[in-house]
């Protein structure tokens, strides 16, 4: 779909459909009033007759409104003006785009981006609106022989801004929004693909394609390379599978040659059966999503490259299946990580931390400014935070704060949890330097504590996205999170948010 920004009067738009908001009860927004004046009270007459109360979630499509140059006017209910916040704004845009797409308009001009949202500027509104528009039309039908096609799909969307001096910031925000949306779509596609297609090799090929498309540097380490580096922990997870593991590295070199990179590490378990500590059968299909950390850092790299951010960003993805083959790790096995620390594998289903710890040690060689790992790491995180916020841990408070702020700004929230030493005791092993599980309590924290033992040499944050990376049930599918959070964090670092 094509996008653009415009400032101008709604009644003068030659568009298949012009979208304006109505507050509850029966109060037109400014662009609505302009159309009302041009049409000699056509809109206010309709509203007075009770066809549109302005309730959030409602729409009314009007044809041939007098005094306008467009074919249609779509009224969208915004709810009460006093209660109009981010959530209501996003919902209004979503329903507007959905309606445009389903009612035959090839193009639309959306004036909802002119409606003030408390504390949010025009750039925020345009960025969010463009992301929501792309999300609304996203379909994953790669494996459906019959695609249910929209007969006259929306091809072009224009977001209106009130003043001419808002055009430049809005256009910049649109470019950012589209890059984020593309990164999210990549993350969703990878997440939604089944385990037999989306293998470690598939993730590596995807990285190589991104590198080719955007002139990034890509390197893929094979099993033999990992053996030479002493990645005994990562390799122990791959042993039970026929799929070869990969360690995938991408470099975006947008900063100065001497600038230290931000390193993004993503868990890439392309299917998590649990291994010998086999998972129960119910919903095990959802463990194809166990590479959503990898998918989100790949999506973020794509967005960063597309925006040509003036920063150095490196991605490291340890990719493997976790399967119960004859050579698989057994409970009680002891492995030596690349850091030299030994690990007693008490549960083969706690495999994410086993692949991540070696990727985190490997990341030291890039002399990172910051390392952020992203992982569908624990069911305990879903119990604690549900599907609203990602779990956040950091060994530096200002980094945690920056990530919380980025999530808030991006509508992709994270919530900080403690990394106190008191929890480290739970990882004690009688036979090795540590165990890979910490018992029944505080599972989301003990997983982070495990990782913290491999991140002493740099500033580090960990995002547990087990609850946020995908949805279950009727709308089962990857969400593309936390691409918006990560990209906002990097935009902030690059000084591209005002």
407 touches ligand BES by CB under 6 A: no
What's the min distance (Å) between Cβ of 170 and ligand BES? Answer: 38
Instruction: Between 253 and 279, name the residue whose CB sits nearer to ligand BES.
Output: 279
For ligand BES, the binding residue among 300, 378, 479, 487 (CB under 6 A) is 378
Residue 464 near Mn ion by CB under 5 A: no
CB of 334 vs Zn ion, minimal distance in Å:
20
> Pick from ligand BES, Zn ion, Mn ion, none: which does 380 bind, CB < 5 to 8 A by kind?
ligand BES
Interface with ligand BES by CB under 6 A: which range of 98-106, 140-148, 344-352, 481-489? Answer: 344-352
Q: Please count the other Cβ atoms lying within 10 Å of the Cβ belonging to residue 230.
A: 16
- Residue 321 touches Mn ion, criterion: CB under 5 A: no
Binder of ligand BES out of 195, 240, 443, 480 (CB under 6 A):
443
Query: Which residue's C-beta sits nearest to ligand BES?
Result: 379
Q: What is the DSSP letter of 366?
A: G
Tell me, yes or no, if 481 is annotated catalytic.
no
If one asks whether residue 272 binds ligand BES (CB under 6 A), the answer comes out as yes
Tell me if 318 contacts ligand BES by CB under 6 A.
no
Stretch 206-225 residues interacting with ligand BES (CB under 6 A): none
Give dist(CA 348, CA 36) in Å, integer: 66
Q: Which is nearer to Mn ion, 272 or 409 (CB)?
A: 272
Cβ 464 to Mn ion shortest distance, Å: 13
Count of residues near Zn ion by CB under 5 A = 4
CA distance 53 to 59: 10
Residues 6 or more apart whose Cβ sits within 8 Å of residue 460: 360, 370, 371, 372, 373, 394, 395, 396, 399, 451, 452
Least separation in angstroms between residue 335's CB and ligand BES is: 16
* Near Zn ion in 326-385, by CB under 5 A: 352
Per-residue x/- track, 453-492, ligand BES (CB under 6 A): -------------x--------------------------
* 279 catalytic per annotation: yes
The residue number whose beta carbon is nearest to Mn ion equals 349
- CB 427 within 8 Å of CB 438: yes
Q: β-pairing, 107-110 with 17-24?
A: parallel
- Selected catalytic residue, list 12, 27, 156, 279: 279
Q: Does 376 bind ligand BES (CB under 6 A)?
A: yes
3-state secondary structure of 354: helix
CB proximity list for 224: less than 8 A, separation 6 or greater: none
Give dist(CA 48, CA 58) in Å, integer.
Answer: 16
* Number of shown-chain residues binding ligand BES (CB under 6 A): 16
What's the closest the beta carbon of residue 478 comes to ligand BES, in angstroms?
12
The number of helix segments (H) and strand segments (E) in the chain equals 14, 21
Q: Please, which residues have CB within 8 angstroms of residue 240's CB and are 6 or more apart in sequence? A: 275, 276, 321, 322, 323, 324, 325, 326, 327, 328, 329, 348
Q: Which is nearer to ligand BES, 252 or 288 (CB)?
A: 288
Report d(CA 424, CA 271) in Å as an integer: 28
- HSE-up of 337 (CA within 13 Å, CB side)? 26
Among 107, 114, 349, 412, binds ligand BES (CB under 6 A): 349
| Cα–Cα distance list, 460 to 106, 164, 187, 350 (Å) | 47, 42, 23, 21
Closest CA to 233 of 435, 493, 487, 6: 435
**What is the token pair recorded at 351?**
């495999």
Which of the ranges 87-95, 160-168, 269-277, 455-463 carries the binding residues for Mn ion, by CB under 5 A? 269-277
* Residue-wise DSSP of 451-480: HHTT-TTS-EEEEE-TTTSEE-GGG-EE--
Q: Which of 92, 96, 437, 449 binds ligand BES (CB under 6 A)?
A: 437
Work out whether 24 is an interface residue with Mn ion (CB under 5 A). no
Residue 303 partner contact from Zn ion, ligand BES, Mn ion, none using kind-dependent CB cut-offs of 5 to 8 Å: none
How far is Cα 409 from Cα 261, in angstroms, rounded to an integer?
23
Is there a contact between 405 and 497 (Cβ–Cβ < 8 Å)?
Answer: no
Catalytic one of 353, 453, 481, 493 = 353
| Shortest Å distance, C-beta 376 to Zn ion | 6
Q: Is 108 in the site for Zn ion (CB under 5 A)?
A: no
Q: What is the DSSP string of 37-75?
A: HHTTSHHHHHHHTTS----TT-EEEEES-TT-SSSEEEE
Q: Is 324 an interacting residue with respect to ligand BES (CB under 6 A)? A: no
Is residue 349 within the footprint of Mn ion (CB under 5 A)?
Answer: yes
Shortest distance in whole angstroms from residue 112 CB to ligand BES: 35
What residues make contact with Mn ion under the rule CB under 5 A? 272, 349, 351
Q: Which residues are catalytic?
A: 279, 353
What residues make contact with ligand BES under the rule CB under 6 A? 272, 290, 347, 349-352, 376-380, 382, 437, 443, 466
């Amino acid at each position: 779909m094509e996008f653009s920004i415009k400032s101008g009067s709604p009644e003068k738009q030659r568009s298949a459909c012009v979208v304006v908001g109505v507050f509850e009860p029966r109060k037109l927004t400014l662009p609505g009033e302009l159309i009302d004046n041009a049409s000699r009270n056509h809109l206010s007459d309709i509203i007075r007759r009770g066809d549109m109360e302005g309730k959030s979630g409602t729409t009314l499509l009007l044809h041939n409104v007098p005094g306008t140059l467009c074919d249609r006017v779509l009224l969208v209910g915004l709810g009460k003006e006093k209660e109009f916040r981010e959530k209501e704004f996003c919902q209004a845009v979503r329903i507007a785009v959905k309606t445009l797409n389903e009612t035959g308009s090839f193009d639309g001009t959306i004036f909802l981006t002119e409606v003030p949202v408390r504390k949010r500027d025009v750039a925020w509104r345009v960025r969010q609106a463009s992301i929501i528009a792309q999300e609304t039309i996203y379909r994953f039908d790669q494996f459906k022989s019959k695609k249910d096609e929209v007969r006259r799909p929306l091809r072009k969307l224009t977001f209106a801004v009130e003043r001419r001096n808002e055009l430049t910031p809005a256009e910049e925000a649109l470019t950012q929004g589209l890059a984020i949306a593309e990164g999210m779509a990549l993350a969703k596609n990878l997440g939604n693909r089944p385990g037999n297609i989306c293998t470690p090799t598939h993730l590596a090929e995807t990285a190589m394609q991104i590198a080719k498309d955007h002139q990034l540097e890509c390197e893929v380490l094979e099993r033999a390379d990992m053996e030479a580096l002493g990645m005994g922990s990562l390799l122990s997870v791959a042993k039970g599978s026929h799929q070869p593991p990969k360690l995938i590295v991408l470099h975006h070199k947008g900063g100065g040659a001497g600038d230290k990179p931000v390193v993004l590490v993503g868990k890439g378990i392309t299917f998590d059966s649990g291994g010998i500590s086999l998972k129960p059968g119910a919903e095990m299909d959802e463990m194809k999503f166990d590479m959503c950390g990898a998918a989100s850092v790949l999506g973020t790299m794509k967005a960063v490259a597309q925006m040509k951010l003036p920063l150095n960003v490196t991605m490291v993805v340890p990719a493997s299946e976790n399967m119960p083959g004859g050579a698989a790790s057994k409970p009680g096995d002891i492995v030596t990580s690349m850091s030299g620390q030994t690990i007693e594998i008490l549960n083969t289903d706690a495999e994410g931390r086993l692949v991540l710890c070696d990727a985190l040690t490997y990341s030291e060689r890039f002399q990172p400014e910051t390392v952020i790992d992203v992982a569908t790491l624990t069911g305990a995180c879903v119990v604690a935070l549900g599907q609203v916020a990602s779990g956040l841990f950091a060994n530096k408070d200002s980094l945690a704060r920056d990530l919380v702020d980025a999530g808030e700004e991006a509508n992709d929230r994270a919530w900080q949890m403690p990394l106190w030493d008191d929890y480290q005791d739970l990882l004690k092993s009688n036979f090795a330097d540590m165990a890979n599980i910490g018992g029944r309590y505080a599972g989301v924290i003990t997983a982070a504590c495990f990782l913290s033992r491999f991140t002493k040499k740099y500033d580090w944050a960990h995002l547990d996205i087990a609850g946020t990376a995908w949805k279950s049930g009727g709308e089962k599918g990857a969400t593309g999170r936390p691409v918006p959070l990560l990209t906002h964090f990097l935009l902030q670092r690059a000084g591209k948010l005002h």
